[in-house]
A and B are shown apart, each in its own frame.
Chain A
C-alpha cells in the first residue's frame, strides 16, 4: 500500500493548506533513508528541497496559487542536471559536477511546485539494462535484493516501487524506462521522440533519447508528462504537444484494434513471461478490444541496428568529456594528448569505453557505409513497417523483456548477452514512437510488464488505452 495519494490529489491538498509541502519532503527523505539498503539513490537534494517546500507553504498561506504539482516530491535520474546536488550520470568522470543550469523538464516541474528530493542511480551514462554499470554501486530490485532492478533507470524505478516518492524521472534510449518498469512493477512511459525537451539531460544517443516518467499509475505518469511536454527553445528537436494535453483521459477498450507483435512472442521469451502477457491480452479482448497478430519482419534486425547507431551517437556525445572545461581531469597529464586520453581512461567505466570504441569503428573511414549508413537505412525499413502496422491496428502490444529481473552478476561478464535483453524495447526507440509499460502480473513472484505502443505523436490515445488496460488487467 503506497503512502502517497495520487499526485493530483496531493497538489490539491497542498493548495488547500491540508498538506504541508515540508511534511511531504520529510516523508520522502525518511523513506529514502529507511530503504537505503536497496541503493537506489546516489544523493539527496535535501537542503534545497526543504527551502523550496518552505516557500511553497508560505505562498499557500498568502493565498497564492502554487501549481498543479504543488509540494509533490520526486526523484530524478542522475543524468538530469539539477541544482542542489551533483549530477554524475553515475560516472566517475562527472563525480563532483555541480550543474550550472537545470534541465528544462525539471524547470517545468518546479514551476508547477514539484520538489526534487534526490538523484537516482543508473547505469553510467545510461549505458546498460541492469544498473550494474553504475560506477558507484548496483541498485537492488525491491522484490528480490539478489536481482537487478533493470536499467538504465533502475534507481528511478526502484525508488517509485520502494515508495520513496510518488514519481521519478527516467530516460529511455532503447528501453531504459520501460524495462526497469517491467522488472520492478511500476508504470514507465516512453513518449514520442521530441515530446519532452532534452535540454539539461546528459546525452546518450541524440536520435533516440527521450525523457519520461515512472509512477504507480497511468494517471500519475500522464500528469507528469503533461507538465513537461511541449516545444522548448533550448531543444530544436522538440515537437508540438497535443492540443488536449495528456490529462483527463477517458476511454475504454471497445472498438480498439490491438496488434500482438508476432516476432516478440516467438522463441527466446521465458514461458512465465509469455503466460502473463497472453493473459493480459486475453483480458483486453474480453474488455472489448479486437486482437490481431501483426508481423514486423524486420524487427529481429532492430537490435543490430541499435548497436550500430547508438554507439556511434554515444561516441560523438561523449567526446565532450575531455578534461578541459569541466568534470574530471587527469591530474598527472604531461601534455594535451595525455590530458585527453588519461582523463577519459581514468574517468570512463568499461561499458562507456566499449560503446565509444564500437561507435568509433562504425563511423570510421572505410566502415561508415557498411555499418552506420547501412544501419540507418535498415532503420528506415523499420519505420515503414511500423507505419504499415499502425495503418492496420490502433496499438501494438507485447512483452517488455524476454525475462523477469535477472540475478545481479548473471549477464555482467558478457556484454553481448546483456545487449540481447534489449530486444523488445529498441524497436520503438529507433522509430520514435511512444511506448508504455504497465504491470501485468508476476512470474515466480517477479513483476512482468505489458508493453503497449502507438503511432508517433499518439501519446494521448496511448495513455488513454493504457489507463483502461490498467483497470482491466489489475
Chain B
C-alpha cells in the first residue's frame, strides 16, 4: 500500500513549482494517496519481454527541408503577450545572484 506523507507532497509541490497551503497539502495528500493506491495494481502485471510504448504512430525521423517557413506569427504579436516587456525582450525576475 502506498503511503504518501506530508513531506512527499511538499517535495512534489516544490518540484512542480506549486505553492500550497497547509489545508491544501493535507487534502491533496489524501487524494493523491488514493489514486496512487489504485494504480499500484500494475506492479504485479507480468510484462516479461515487452518494451515500453512511447508513441503509437510508428513514425520515425519525420523530416522537412531546413528552410524558414513564415506561418504568419509576428514577433510583436508574441511579445505583447508577455506579462512584462522591455523593448523587444521579455522581462523576468532576477535569476542569478
Contact = CB atoms under 8 A, between A and B. Distances in A.
A370 B41 CA distance: 11
A193 interface: yes
Interface in B43-77: 43, 45, 47, 50-57, 59, 62, 64, 69, 71-74, 77
Contacts of B35: 307, 354, 358, 415-416, 419
Contacts of A333: 93
A376 B51 CA distance: 8
Contacts of B93: 333, 335-336, 339
Nearest to B39: A304
A394 to B, nearest CB: 20
26 contacts: A100-B78, A207-B54, A233-B64, A298-B45, A319-B16, A329-B83, A338-B19, A340-B17, A344-B16, A345-B18, A353-B28, A354-B35, A356-B16, A356-B18, A357-B13, A358-B32, A371-B42, A375-B39, A377-B47, A377-B52, A379-B53, A380-B50, A381-B47, A383-B56, A430-B56, A432-B57
A354 B16 CA distance: 11
Interface string A317-330: 00100111111110
A324 B36 contact: no
Given A207-B55, A239-B59, 20 more contacts: A101-B71, A237-B57, A237-B59, A307-B35, A326-B82, A326-B83, A329-B83, A336-B92, A337-B17, A340-B17, A341-B17, A345-B20, A357-B32, A360-B16, A361-B36, A364-B15, A370-B43, A373-B52, A381-B45, A416-B35
Interface string B18-32: 111000000010011
A298 B47 CA distance: 11
A301 B46 CA distance: 12
A181 B62 CA distance: 34
A263 to B, nearest CB: 15
Interface residues of B, number: 50
Interface of B: 8-9, 12-13, 15-20, 28, 31-32, 34-36, 38-39, 41-43, 45, 47, 50-57, 59, 62, 64, 69, 71-74, 77-78, 81-84, 90, 92-95
Nearest to A373: B52
A97 B78 CA distance: 11
Interface SS of chain B:
loop
Interface string A339-372: 1111011001000011011101110100000110
A354 B19 contact: no
A97 B15 CA distance: 26
Interface of A: 97-98, 100-101, 193-194, 207, 233-234, 236-237, 239, 298, 301, 303-305, 307-308, 315, 319, 322-329, 333, 335-342, 344-345, 348, 353-354, 356-358, 360-362, 364, 370-371, 373-381, 383, 415-416, 419, 430-432, 456
A98 B82 CA distance: 11
A301 B15 CA distance: 28
Contacts of A344: 16-19
Contact of A379 (B16, B17, B52): B52
Nearest to A304: B39
Contacts of A383: 53, 56
Contacts, number: 165
B71 A345 contact: no
Contacts of B51: 377, 380
Contact of A193 (B9, B56, B62): B56
Given A98-B81, A323-B83, A380-B53, A308 B18 contact: no
A418 to B, nearest CB: 11
Given A101-B72, A233-B64, A304 B38 contact: yes
Contact of B18 (A234, A324, A348, A430): A348
Nearest to A231: B62
Would you list the 3 A-B pairs with minimal beta carbon distance, nearest first?
A: A432-B56, A376-B52, A329-B83
Nearest to B83: A329
Nearest to B62: A236
A358 B71 contact: no
B16 A357 contact: yes
A383 B52 CA distance: 11
B43 A376 contact: no
B69 A233 contact: yes
A44 to B, nearest CB: 22
A348 B13 CA distance: 13
A378 B41 CA distance: 11
Contacts of B13: 341, 357
Contacts of B9: 357
A438 B93 CA distance: 52
Interface centre among B13, B31, B51, B71 (most CB of A within 10 A): B31
Contact of B47 (A100, A356, A378): A378
A325 B90 contact: yes
A307 B36 CA distance: 9
A324 B16 contact: no
